[in-house]
Structure 1
Amino acid sequence: MHRTFTTASVAALLVSLTACGGNSPSNSTADAHEPTRSGTLANEPLTARAAFEKMSTTVRTANLTGTVTTQNDPNHLLGRPNEYTSKVTFSDSWVPAVQVTGADPGAVERGGAIEAFANPADAQARAAYIRGVTKSLPALAEYDYVHGWVLVRVSRYLTPKQAAQYESAAAALG
């Protein structure tokens, strides 16, 4: 009985974590619920797209792959209380293609994702949740960087030095 419960628990955790990390993004430019703000972290929150556009000027290996909308959000978190207000996904040419064969097009492991929140506390809470879920499953770990309203999630397939470029670029957002 204990083994069945443990197997079922691990399976449930993996299903929820998969939803946490991957998605099937559309190429639409914005969700109807996505705010159109494009300020800096110092004075107002950025959208995920605006954060990506600023970050990608520094990290040139990143390529926008999709915008998460309420219709395609596998997590069903977009616009919900205390959750992200916008999200984009990106690939990174540093990630070896062989490592991500079969991964969903918007999966964090292909490069990453940027999630923008209504306030910094919500971004911190989301990062803490992800770290808590992945702590006991190193194969699903990722780099997470919170700067103000923005959470930058980066593929575990990047080296620490490569991931640090995202951390620096995210820190320069505001």
Structure 2
Amino acid sequence: MQKNGGSEKKKVPVIQMLVGVFAGLLLIIVLVFVLAILPLQNATEAYNSAVEEYNAAAEDYNSMLSLTCVDNLDGFPESAENLEMVNEDLFSVMKSFLGGNTAKKTQADIETLKEIMEYLSDDTKIMEQITAPSEAWVMERLGRVEDILEIQPVTSDNDPNGLLHRENGGYTACIYFTSTGIESAGDSPVSKGTDGGGAVEVYSTVQDAEARCEYLSGFDNTILYTGSYAIVGTMVIRISYAYTDEAQYEMTDRIAKAFTQLETA
């Protein structure tokens, strides 16, 4: 009887140990779930919301890109690709966690998306302002450019090209300017033409701007060559042949930078 009684007493610590191990494992599981799985699920939901916002910004960017030209500008992606949303159900989140993902990593991805969205938003705003801008806006921006002296828009009475408000390819505005170091005949920027410095022709569509450049290319390497030309948005920036090739490029670049500057609040 004493021997059997001793055997029964020895079983009690084993059971208690198993219960303790089970309780410890349960506690660990609960802690992992509360401290890691749930935060990751919340972060995943926030990530999907950020993806929705990013895709909307990407669509706005691509839509604007189809209406204008940024080929002569640096830093504009050819397109913005949409992103796929991720599964946010509990099983998928747990699988993601076991694969090494965490709420912290997901939050870092969200911050990266926000930064990209900010760039896309700024680029979209720039494209909006260089697409069919007003005459007054172009004149104000030209006034910021170093080495530009006088600025004058054409009217229907003094337009040397006869393209102002003309249907099928005419420009909505054309602003001539004179610049430092360039001497040419005439008593005003318009009368001096592009020879005096250059001009900015504003078109309502990028197709009209492209057609204008195609026309101007017909005079390249001839005695009728008037200088360089480049499309920015729906504008054609023309620079006098009196400049060297390098100086023409530099002046075009200065004007483009003035046109693409975003105002800060």
Deviation at 1:73, TM superposition (A): 1.4
Deviation at 1:102, TM superposition (A): 6.0
Q: Find the partner of 2:174 among 87, 103, 106.
A: 87
Deviations 1:112-169, CA, capped at 9 Å, x for gaps: 111100011111111110121x125245331101111111111001122321222213
Stretches of structure 2 lacking an aligned partner (at least 5 in a row) = 1-124, 261-265
Measured in 1, the distance between the counterparts of 2:251 and 2:139 equals 10
Q: Is the 2:146–2:254 Cα contact (8 Å) retained in structure 1?
A: no
Q: Find the partner of 1:148 among 229, 233, 238.
A: 233
Measured in 2, the distance between the counterparts of 1:94 and 1:41 equals 31
Q: TM-score, normalised by structure 2?
A: 0.44
Q: Is the 1:41–1:149 Cα contact (8 Å) retained in structure 2?
A: no
Measured in 2, the distance between the counterparts of 1:139 and 1:118 equals 27
Stretches of structure 1 lacking an aligned partner (at least 5 in a row) = 1-39
Measured in 2, the distance between the counterparts of 1:149 and 1:74 equals 20
Q: CA RMSD in A?
A: 2.3
Match of 1:166 in 2: 251
Measured in 2, the distance between the counterparts of 1:83 and 1:41 equals 23
Measured in 2, the distance between the counterparts of 1:170 and 1:152 equals 8
Deviation at 1:78, TM superposition (A): 0.5
Q: Select the structure of larger CA radius of gyration.
A: 2
- Counterpart code for 2:166: R
Match of 1:54 in 2: 141
Deviation at 1:71, TM superposition (A): 1.9
Sort the Cα spacing of 1:70 and 1:105 in 2 relative to 1 into closer, same or farther, 3 A: closer
- Counterpart code for 1:157: A
If each structure's helix is expressed as a fraction of its own residues, which one has the higher value?
2
Task: Please give the residue correspondences for 1:77-116 in structure 2 after superposition, counting only pairs within 5 Å.
Answer: 77-81=163-167, 82-95=169-182, 97=183, 100-101=184-185, 105-116=191-202
Q: TM-score, normalised by structure 1?
A: 0.64
- Counterpart code for 1:162: A
SS in 1 for 2:191: coil
Match of 1:75 in 2: 161
Query: Does residue 1:129 correspond to 2:193, yes or no?
Result: no
Deviations 1:24-49, CA, capped at 9 Å, x for gaps: xxxxxxxxxxxxxxxx6511422344
Q: Which has the higher contact order (CA 8 A, sep 6+)?
A: 1
